[in-house]
Structure 1
C-alpha cells in the first residue's frame, strides 16, 4: 500500500496526469449515472408507466455519432439545427472543432472508451509487469483501419443530399437510436460480445489498442491535428535520450526520436512533458508560441462548459420529442428498422 507521502510526491511531480486520471474517473462515473438514468427513463415507457418517470438525460446523445454527423451536415449546408438530438450535434461539433486547436484532448480527458482502454492497460501491466509493443510493420498495417472506417461513415453522410439527411433525422429509427443503442448493450451477445472480449484481451497486452488502430471517432477528431497548431516540441540540445517520454505515451509515439510531435494520434495529454527529467526539453507550443502545460485541459473544459451552457440557454440541448411521442415510440423500438 503506497503512503500519502508517495501520492503527494506524485501530485507534485505530475499534477496534470493526476488531475487527468481523476477527471477521467469522475467523468466515467458520471456517464455510468447517465446510462442508469436513461435506462430508468426507458423502463417507464417499456413497462407502460409501471415504473416512475425519470427525465431523459440529453447527454446520452453523445453516444450517437452517426446521427450527430448527419445533423452536422444538415446544419452546415442548410443552417437548420437538429431538434431531435440537438445535444448530439452540439457535442460532435464541439469535439471535432476543438480538435483543430487542442488535438485529441477529448480522447485523453473524457472519452469513456479511452478511459476504459487506459484502465485495462494498467491491469495488463499489473498482471504481466508491462504492456507489450506491436512490431512496427504490423503497426503500419493496422493504423489505416480506423481511417478507412472513418472514411466509410463520413462518405456515407457526405453523399446524402440535404433532403435525404433531413428525412433521416425525422425518421422513427433516428428518434429511437439512443434506445436501440441501450438495448444493444442490455442484450449484448453474439458478434458484439465476442468483439468486445477480443478488444479487451488485446488491450491488456497492447496499450490503447482500440484508440490507436480502430476508433473512427478519434480518427475524425484527430484530423484537426493536420494543421499542427498545437504540438509538443523537443529540444534536441538538452535531451538525454532517456526515452521516458516514449515510455509513458498512451499512444506509443516515439517522442524521443522527433523534434516535433506531429502525429495525428497525439492527444496532448502532457504525459511526455511531465515525464521528462530535464526542464524545458519538452514543451507545448500553440501557433509556435510556448505555453503552459495546463493550456490544453483548461482551455478544453472552459470551452466545453461554456458551449453546453450556451446550448441549454438558447434551447439547443433538449430534444423536442414529447412524452406522448416517447410513449408511442419506445414500446415499438425493437421493431423499428
Structure 2
C-alpha cells in the first residue's frame, strides 16, 4: 500500500511539472514573452548551449536567461548525487512519454523491446546528438537545435499548425515519432535521442548513489525488469551502474521483497520516498531561493522609465510604448520612425504591427530606428542606405537585415563560401537573399544571432 502511494506521489509531481510548463509555454506563445517564459528558458539544455557564450563573451544567447542556468546547475547537482533523477522524477518530456506509454500498455497489453543488436547501438545515438548540438550551439551562439527539437515543437504548439510547420518542421516530425515510439517502447526519446539525458548519464557515472540488489532475498520474479522504463535487466545485476538508469525508483517500488532492492548513497540505504522528497526539495528549493534573492529570471526584465536600450536591443515582444520608453524617444516621433499611423494602438507588440500595417517588417523598422533623427518636413528627403560596393567596408555590427548575403560578403571582405559557414546556412540559399529573408529558407535564422556569429 505504501509503495503504491509513493508511486502516485511520483506521478503527481511529474504531472504538476508538465502542466505548469505547458501552461507557461501556451501563454508565451499566445500572449507573449514579456511575462511568460518560453520553452527554451525553462529547459536546462538551453543553458548548456549558451555556456560558451557566457564564458567567453559574458552574455546569454537569445531566449536564455539566468534562470535557465540555475535549472542547469540544479540538475547537474542532482545528476552527481542522485544520478538521472531529474529524468525519472521531474522531466516533463519524460512525463509525456510515460503518458503515451501507459496508453500503449492498455492498447497492446504488453511493452515491446527492440532486439539488442538494434537497441544497443541506438542508445549511443543520443551521445552523438549531444556532441553535435552543443558544438553548433557554441559555434553559432544560438539555439541551433530549435527547429529540430521535438520539445521546442511541443512548447510552440499553441501558435498553431502553420507555425509548427514553418518554424519546427523536423521538430514536429520528431515529436510525432516520439509519441508513436512511446506508445510502443518505454521512454523512447530518453533512451535513443535525448542529448540532455546523455549528458546526465555521463555525470551519473561518478555518482556515489546506486541501486543495489540483494541476491539472497531476490526471488527472480522479474517485476523489476518489467517496470524499468529504461529496460535495464535489474534482476541480473548486484549493482545498477548503467548510465541509462533514470533513478525513477520504479524497480524498487515494484519489488515484492522488502529491502531486496535499495538505493544506496555511500553504502547507506535511502527509501524511495526519501529519494523523491530530497530530489524535489533540491530542485524546487533551489528555484525558490534564487527567486527570493532575485537571481532566478526566465523572462526579460520589465521596461521601466529607467530602462535604456539601443535600437539593436529592441525586441518584437515589446510594445510601441515599451520601445519609446526604452529608447527615450517621444512616442509620436517613434510612430514616424516606424512609418506607421498613430491609429495603431501604442500597446501593440512590434511583431504584431503587421496586423494593422501589412507591409510592416520588424527588421526594417529596427534599421529605421538606428538612423539619425531627421526632421519630418516636406523639404528634407528621407535618407536611404548607401549602396554596397567593392569599396564599402563595414564591421559586423553595421550589417543590416536589408543587406543581401553577397553584400555582406563584399562589405566584410569575407569570401562568400566562408560567410555561408559563419552564418551556418546552406549554400543553397541564394546569395541575393536579404539577411532578414534567410529565415524563409532556415526557420531558426535570426539577424541578431548572425551578427554575433560574424564577430568571431
Q: Which TM-score bucket, shorter chain as reference?
A: 0.7 to 0.9
1:90 deviates by 1.1
Partner of 1:172: none
Cα separation, 1, equivalents of 2:273 and 2:130: 30
1:73 deviates by 4.0
Given that 2:79 and 2:207 are in contact with CA atoms closer than 8 Å, whether structure 1 keeps it comes out as: no
1:138-217 equivalent positions in 2, closer than 5 A: 138-156=118-136, 182=156, 186=160, 187-189=163-165, 190-217=169-196
1:185 deviates by 6.1
Partner of 2:341: none
CA 1:183/1:30 → structure 2, altered by over 3 Å: closer, same or farther?
closer
Match for residue 84 of structure 2 among 84, 89, 104: 104
1:212 deviates by 0.7
Aligned partner of residue 127 in structure 1, secondary structure: helix
1:121 deviates by 0.9
Partner of 1:34: 24
Larger radius of gyration: 2
CA 1:118/1:143 → structure 2, altered by over 3 Å: closer, same or farther?
same
Cα separation, 2, equivalents of 1:281 and 1:264: 21
Cα separation, 1, equivalents of 2:67 and 2:156: 17
Partner of 1:135: 115
**Cα distance per residue 1:258-279 (max 9 Å; x no partner):** 0101111111111111111111
1:52-91 equivalent positions in 2, closer than 5 A: 55-57=35-37, 61-63=41-43, 65-66=45-46, 68-73=47-52, 77=55, 80=58, 82=60, 85-91=65-71
Query: How many residues were matched structurally?
Result: 301
Partner of 2:296: 317
CA 1:250/1:70 → structure 2, altered by over 3 Å: closer, same or farther?
closer
Match for residue 283 of structure 2 among 298, 304, 307: 304
**Cα distance per residue 1:76-124 (max 9 Å; x no partner):** x469575961111111222123211111111112212100111111111
Given that 1:284 and 1:290 are in contact with CA atoms closer than 8 Å, whether structure 2 keeps it comes out as: yes
Given that 1:147 and 1:216 are in contact with CA atoms closer than 8 Å, whether structure 2 keeps it comes out as: yes
Partner of 2:256: 277
Given that 1:101 and 1:224 are in contact with CA atoms closer than 8 Å, whether structure 2 keeps it comes out as: no
CA 1:143/1:185 → structure 2, altered by over 3 Å: closer, same or farther?
farther
Aligned partner of residue 28 in structure 1, secondary structure: helix
1:317 deviates by 2.0
Query: So what's the TM-score if we normalise by structure 2?
Result: 0.59
Given that 1:132 and 1:206 are in contact with CA atoms closer than 8 Å, whether structure 2 keeps it comes out as: yes
Aligned partner of residue 262 in structure 2, secondary structure: strand
> Unpaired runs of 5+ in structure 2?
144-151, 304-313, 324-349, 353-361, 364-435, 440-444, 447-456
Aligned partner of residue 14 in structure 1, secondary structure: helix
Aligned partner of residue 150 in structure 1, secondary structure: helix
Query: So what's the TM-score if we normalise by structure 1?
Result: 0.79
1:233 deviates by 0.2
Partner of 1:262: 241
1:184 deviates by 9.4
Partner of 1:295: 274
Given that 1:146 and 1:214 are in contact with CA atoms closer than 8 Å, whether structure 2 keeps it comes out as: yes
Given that 1:228 and 1:262 are in contact with CA atoms closer than 8 Å, whether structure 2 keeps it comes out as: no
Identify the structure with the greater helix proportion: 1
Partner of 2:4: 14
CA RMSD in angstroms, aligned pairs only: 3.1
